[in-house]
Structure 1
Amino acid sequence: MATAEDLDHPATDQQLETFREALRRAEGAGARLEVRHLANSAATLLRPDTHFDLVRPGLAVFGLSPIPGRSAADLGLTPAMRLEADVLLVKEAGAGQGVSYGHTYSTTRETVLADIPLGYADGIPRHASGTGPVLLGGRRRVVAGRVCMDQLVVDLDGDTEVRPGDTAVLWGTGQDGEPTAEDWAQAAGTISYEIVTRLGARVPRLYTGSAGLTHETASGDDR
């Protein structure tokens, strides 16, 4: 299903007919098929005629939208993954202080910086340097400077209430004001599929609730 997210694209009908022809040939040759399945996430949501005996959604199982221009909420989906980390370090910084590698970000006034122990070795996209959103201290903030291998920095804009051990949320459902995986995808110039599948093995997984929702956490102690 190369184009199932686009209802006007003819390829889906062509692929569906090809699949049906394959079924006719197999069954005509005597094959007794236990199940027939074709639909990916987009087809599961948009094309009931592709459902056959089973559907095999991927991204939609994470509660994320596979359809450009339509949010998870539009489709009745709730994101199942939440990625958070404990703040490792909080420190004051003067005006004009370069932050992270290359000093692509510099403070414009006296402020406070928070160090969060997640980096591109954990699957945080380096392309989200300077753009990746983080909920911390009740406010949405943006990654300050480059994402490092093991950490990223957030400028707290002088907020002195954030402490080491406070929880920084990179993405979740969005229902409590936190960013979503789609927000990170836009920040990194990619798709939410990549955001949720690239998390590395060293990020601990915590499965909560009867549906087995995934809760991703990271802290300095976990390293």
Structure 2
Amino acid sequence: MRTGSMRVAEISLPAIRQNVAHVRDLTGGAVIVVVKADGYGHGASIVAEAALAGGAAMIATADLEEALALREAGIEAPILCWLHGVRVDFADAVAAGIEIGVSHVQQLEALADAARRVGRGATAQLKIDTGLSRNGAAPDEWRTLFTRAAELSREGLVRVRGIFSHLANAGDENDRAQAARFDEAIAMLREAGIDPELQHLAASAATLSSPHLRYNAVRVGIAAYGLSPFADKTSAQLGLVPAMTLRSEIVALRGVPAGTGVSYGFNHVCETATTLALVPMGYADGMPRALNGAGAWVTVAGEPRPIVGRIGMDQFIVDVGPLAGRVGLGEPVVLFGDPELGHPPVEIWAGLMRTINYEIVSGIGPRVLRVAADGSEA
């Protein structure tokens, strides 16, 4: 490893730039790249810089703390955040020029109060619920919210830059019904006297599959990281390149006879004499313990080799079998990466765990060093 770390998530900057440029070319509108949860586990500031270089118009987070951390990291581009606690103080956000997603009148008043105290106008984007039944103003709140937003805009306290919502991805009919509600909200906001510069409804799935849902901006997360939001389409089929390669190395090797039990509980017993390699990555690093005996594999010396025995907090074991004598201590091990380069795709883990690729990458632990890579490695 170039860094000397035993655990590395190598983040391809060219891949992120290419993915964002692909989305921008596909949609022709503004691209908002979501870097919440530490950039879906990729490293928020690493991703933000690469996304902006790829043509992103704005960066987005869930929490205000995440947005402020990006400012502290030197990200000067527009940043939007939209999930707030009831006791939030927006003063630091206003001072840092962070755009606030507002979901109800109470938040709008808190933002206006912060603007008064800071002595600087705030910028907001109004988040509405069109059917996901989650964050965002409900339809019976829209008129009150929009009317008050227009009043505060005329006072110079809050500029409303955009309006947005989130699809439930519950099928085309439901998506179109949500879009119809979104259109109603835009019309109502204009009636209140605000013509929003940005209108965004589509996240990655709709952005890649439904041109009629793109409006004049899209808000992408998983697509920017080069991963597919669809169970039946690969990254390559969507024109995306996975950005994360999760790497470790062999730190111990031992030849064992047939009948040797492996790791806790001996739930794996070697059928023949073989060579076992110890890899210092475990469930504390985001490697699901339930992968035990599930058929997961890694690549060693470019060849697929099975994970055997129970995964520990800090380590797991690979049967390197026929590679004995060809690999030594320090030999790189790739847990997942770009399948076009011969690496296991992260979707193998997701499939075995009956979950989605989002959960796997965002769950990579803090001991794993995120390294920005400006080239490509096999």
The TM-score range, normalised by the shorter chain, is 0.7 to 0.9
CA contact (8 A) 1:132 1:188 kept: no
Distance 2:178 2:251 in 1: 51
Measured in 1, the distance between the counterparts of 2:306 and 2:168 equals: 34
Identify, as 1 or 2, the structure richer in helix. 2
In 2, distance between residues paired with 1:48 and 1:159?
Answer: 49
Equivalent residue number for residue 104 of structure 1: 267
- Give the C-alpha shift of residue 77 in structure 1: 0.9
> Aligned equivalents of 1:157 and 1:189: distance in 2?
29
Corresponding residue of 1:203? 368
- The aligned amino acid for 2:356 is I
Moved over 2 A (4+): none
Helix, strand or coil for the counterpart of 2:317? strand
TM-score normalised by L of structure 2? 0.53
**Aligned pair partner of 1:169 in 334, 341, 354:** 334
Q: Over residues 67-119 of structure 1, what are the superposed CA-to-partner deviations in whole Å (9 max), with x where a residue is unaligned?
A: 12111111111111101101111111121111112211111111110011111
Residue 16 (structure 1) aligns with: 179
- Asked whether 1:137 is paired with 2:307, we answer no
Q: For residue 3 of structure 1, give the secondary structure of its aligned residue in structure 2.
A: coil
- 1:158 CA displacement: 4.7
Residue aligned with 2:241, SS: coil
Counterpart position of 1:76: 239
Letter in 2 for 1:152: F
> Which is higher, the Rg of structure 1 or of structure 2?
2
Q: Which stretches in structure 1 are left out of the alignment for 5+ residues?
A: 216-223
Unaligned runs of 5+ in 2: 1-166
Counterpart for residue 220 of structure 1 = none
Indicate the SS of the match to 1:118.
coil
Distance in 2, Cα, partners of 1:91 & 1:125: 24
- Code of the residue aligned with 1:182 in structure 2: it is E
Kept after mapping to 2: 8 A contact 1:83/1:169: yes
Normalised by the size of structure 1, how large is the TM-score? 0.88
Q: Distance in 2 between matches of 1:118 and 1:106?
A: 21
Match of 1:2 among 168, 173, 185: 168
Instruction: Verify: 1:148 aligned to 2:308, yes or no.
Output: no
1:122 correspondence with 2:285: yes
Where do residues 33-112 of structure 1 align in structure 2 (5 Å cutoff)? 33-112=196-275
**Which deviates more from structure 2 when the two are superposed, residues 46-55 or residues 147-156?**
46-55
Secondary structure of the residue aligned to 2:248 is strand
Q: Does the residue aligned with 2:247 lie in a helix, a strand or coil?
A: strand
2:232 & 2:195 partners in 1: Cα distance? Answer: 40
